[in-house]
A and B are shown apart, each in its own frame.
Chain A
């Protein structure tokens, strides 16, 4: 059913504020014409239920998602990526949590260039309409359809700035490795959206030593932090490598698999230095790490930040020059879905 709200004031943006629809920033008013254009871009009917969101399993229809995409400032051409992100998010069961994590979107394949997504300079930052508005649309969908708003289902203690928008594309053109979507079984010509419940990126600088192993050693040093969920649950962890780092590492003979194995072996901390810190003070719950349940635990045992090397996800993004990569901690495992599929 279309929910039409009569608005008599000129300032429709203020009405959106009053209705509680915004993320704190001004939105593009979701007029019937704009929403219809967005719906048309999907090739679907407005009433089609794309998925159900949140613990109340609220139906997310094409029209409601479109209204949020309009408000975020999306162009209709972006809408298939927004729909894919919502489908992936539903599979990820956006956690009702007081943790800061929020959905991060990574886009792969030809759609990146077709709609002008930024995978180059400042890829994880501001300044590009597609990145900014697709990520923002995801957040507005969570807020308005899923009910994830402060005081409601979004119970975060702190949150982080990615809750405004958190979307970037992989720089496939500057990577010598296979891109994320190909690693996950899609054709290189396919377009995909991957969703991961992510903390803010931790920037890792490494310069002055161009050896691939040196770069990996710097990244590995940043991984075993007692206070992250990753260290406790040992689930998926994202590494966003700059093209420069990726090229230097690859040119020293590291395949993506070899990178993961290196980080698995070196991104560790002795068990004795973890106990009593972070979540390790909670004890060995079933969901927690297996190693804590050993009564004869050797405190010098070096504990990896993920359970196995494949739980590292490596993507390449950012401008071609610059010795910076990013470690992105988070919750659970990411989900990749096709765009337009």
Chain B
């Protein structure tokens, strides 16, 4: 039997302070690319994540959303600097869902 009625919580007290990304301007119309870079795109996880991101962003800024279909077998966006360079000046925000 425990000798005390006080328990030490095993849960972490806090998360690290995270530096927030610059906020998007509400006034300007932004071009936002949404890329499904999940390993198994057929499972639909990436699409669901991007749907959620678009839903949130639609409520916080004026934007044109572009779903980017990259062919299966191509490297993910973050691994393809040549493709990424081609986006400079055309995109205000790029969101990629990655994982397995």
Contact = CB atoms under 8 A, between A and B. Distances in A.
**Which 10 A/B pairs are nearest by Cβ-Cβ distance?**
A283-B73, A67-B10, A31-B4, A286-B75, A3-B9, A144-B10, A286-B79, A35-B8, A58-B12, A57-B16
A285 B75 contact: yes
Contacts of A193: none
A69 B7 CA distance: 13
A16 B7 contact: yes
Contacts of B14: 58-59
B18 to A, nearest CB: 8
Contacts of A279: 39-40
Contacts of A99: 100
Interface string B1-40: 0111111111111111010000000000000000000011
Interface of B: 2-16, 18, 39-40, 72-73, 75-76, 79-80, 99-100
Q: Is the interface of A mostly helix, strand, loop or mixed?
A: mixed
A63 B2 CA distance: 18
Interface residues of A, number: 49
Contact of B13 (A1, A97, A140): A1
Given A30-B7, A32-B6, A56 B16 contact: yes
A1 B8 CA distance: 11
22 contacts: A3-B8, A3-B11, A4-B7, A5-B9, A7-B7, A21-B9, A21-B11, A31-B6, A33-B3, A34-B2, A57-B15, A58-B15, A59-B13, A59-B15, A60-B12, A61-B13, A64-B10, A97-B99, A144-B12, A145-B11, A282-B40, A285-B75
